Structure 1
Amino acid sequence: MSTLRAGYHHGDLRAACLAAALSLLEEGDEGDLSLRAVARRAGVSPTAPYRHYPDKDALLAALAIHGYRELRAELLAADSAAAEGDEYVAMAQAYVAYAVAHPALFRLMFDHACTRSHPETTAASAAVTEVLAARVAAAVPAAQRPAFMIGCWALVHGLGSLLLNGKLTPNGPDEVAELTRAVVATMLGSSALRL
């Protein structure tokens, strides 16, 4: 039996390659990631990943899309589980927690050129933004929404980046959540949090 045929016993070669790529990404960085390394990790022939990912940029874009979809799901879950009036803080905490839990993927999502050149990646990124936009639309005047959205994103993304780069060193997820809450409350004020 060929290696390629054995690889298809995963049931879903695309998903198996994506899982292998995620694993490799979290162990190193995107510079070390290759389709051959993904094939080895997934247990398929060196050419098998090319059936779904024609080149490394396509694989990286798929990873970014996966990350954006996960992040969107985390934001929606945080929004729906939050007490009334705490929705924005909960979404900010979910965003920062995602960054801290998935540092290599988070950096890829926002820093790699492939995330700006693939239409599906752009759409997945926009779907994340729409989660906050829906909440903001209910409370912020239309003329102020674009600036408010940019400010909110800069706040939580900057906080996540500072944590990833070791500029802030809280001890564990609870301290990260509390730091996020305190920063958001301080910067936006309690009235702005009633989104």
Structure 2
Amino acid sequence: MSGTRAKIMAATREILESKGAGAVSMRSIAAACGISPMTPYWHFPSREALLEAVCAVAFDEVAEQWRGRERAAEPLADLVAIADLFIDFALARPRLYDYMFTAPRPGARQFPGDFAAGKSPTVNLIVEALTDGMRCGVLRDDDPVGLALTLAAQLHGLVALRHGGRIGIPDDAFRALCHDSLRRIFDGISK
């Protein structure tokens, strides 16, 4: 990646994380980089293409971090560890999280096709942990992609409520709420 392209992507991510997607414009990026307003267009055909490139890198970073975690020996504990990484990301980078996981984007992966085809680096980890749990007899046999959607949707719903100001509790209490919600789901899918 060229130095200018990397600089443009870094500035875009900074604006996205600090001010949100609405503040990202080719002019604001050019100003942040100290380049001409047309230079970003030499590297990205549009604002949307630039944001999508930033998202792709961010998804890869998140998946790599999650893959690098220490795996728990117990499948349910591993699922909770994945959930904690999801929660950590949502709490630490709320605007980036909202854009990556909530905003309509041309490159957003869709259920069921993209998830079933293994195209989601984050959902893939949940599917793998669920499959391990089914294989070792801790979880009932079921569709791991559908269950991954259930778990992700539950966490995402709680995060959306938190980001929207509907859940007004400290971070540790929010994490406990998420764990309790997951426990209820686990109770339903455990053998």
* Shorter-chain TM band: 0.7 to 0.9
- The answer on whether the counterparts of 1:96 and 1:159 sit within 8 Å (CA) in structure 2 is no
| TM-score normalised by L of structure 2 | 0.78
Which residue in 1 is equivalent to 2:26? 35
Return closer, same or farther for 1:66/1:33 CA change in 2, 3 Å cut-off.
same
Deviation at 1:125, TM superposition (A): 5.9
Deviation at 1:142, TM superposition (A): 5.9
Aligned AA for 2:127? A
Distance (whole Å) between structure 2 residues aligned to residue 139 and residue 64 of structure 1: 30
Which residue in 2 is equivalent to 1:107? 98
Return closer, same or farther for 1:97/1:62 CA change in 2, 3 Å cut-off.
same
Q: Which structure shows the bigger proportion of residues in helix conformation?
A: 1
Aligned AA for 2:123? T
CA RMSD between the two structures = 2.7
Which residue in 2 is equivalent to 1:22? 13
Distance (whole Å) between structure 2 residues aligned to residue 32 and residue 104 of structure 1: 11
Which residue in 1 is equivalent to 2:167? 168
Deviations 1:19-56 (Å, cap 9, x if unpaired)?
Answer: 11111112322222111211111222222222221111
Distance (whole Å) between structure 2 residues aligned to residue 49 and residue 105 of structure 1: 20
Aligned length: 177
For structure 2, the residue ranges without an aligned partner over 5 or more in a row are: 135-139
For structure 1, the residue ranges without an aligned partner over 5 or more in a row are: 1-10
- The answer on whether the counterparts of 2:127 and 2:145 sit within 8 Å (CA) in structure 1 is no
Match of 1:186 among 181, 184, 187: 184
- The answer on whether the counterparts of 2:162 and 2:168 sit within 8 Å (CA) in structure 1 is yes
Return closer, same or farther for 1:143/1:89 CA change in 2, 3 Å cut-off.
closer
- The answer on whether the counterparts of 1:25 and 1:105 sit within 8 Å (CA) in structure 2 is yes
Aligned AA for 2:160? S
Which residue in 1 is equivalent to 2:137? none
Distance (whole Å) between structure 1 residues aligned to residue 19 and residue 118 of structure 2: 24
Deviations 1:126-160 (Å, cap 9, x if unpaired)?
Answer: 12211111111222366432321221111111122
Select the structure with the greater relative contact order (CA < 8 A; seq sep ≥ 6).
1
- Percent identity over the alignment? 24
